[in-house]
Amino acid sequence: MSNWNVNLTGVIVASGQPVPMMKWEGNKPTDTPQTNAEGVPLYKIPLLYKPEGAADYEKISVEVPSAKAPESIPDFTPVQVNGAKLRVNTWTDASGKTRLSEKLSAASVKRA
């Protein structure tokens, strides 16, 4: 697993409500909240991101730790993503193929 700090330059806007992340058991989600190493619940926040010089927005989602549900931000409201990190992990599936997964996390997402 590798972690990199990420500088999200460009325009970032809200595009949905924060959703609590749940633990998975086998192929199914459970009713147990997923937490970080400190035991703080994780929320997934959907955003639209337009990098500098890009013609259009890209859909992204950011994992944010929060003891309570993060503030609900109206769609298309500009936001600031603080402390963004990209985590990349390789894993092997049941057929023996190596796969790559990536997750974007942040310390917080707030109105800009």
In this structure, whether the domain defined by 2-111 belongs to CATH 1.10.3470 is answered with no
Q: Exposure of 58 by Cβ count < 10 A (0-12 exposed, 13-18 middle, 19+ buried)? A: exposed
State mean pLDDT over 64-76.
94
Q: What is the pLDDT of residues 19-50, one digit of tens each?
A: 999 999 988 999 999 999 999 999 999 999 99
Of residues 1 and 93, the one with the higher pLDDT is 93
> ∠ CA(62), CA(38), CA(28), 5° rounding?
60
Where are the domains positioned within the chain? Answer: 2-111
What's this model's pTM, rounded to 2 decimal places? 0.86
d(CA 42, CA 90): 22
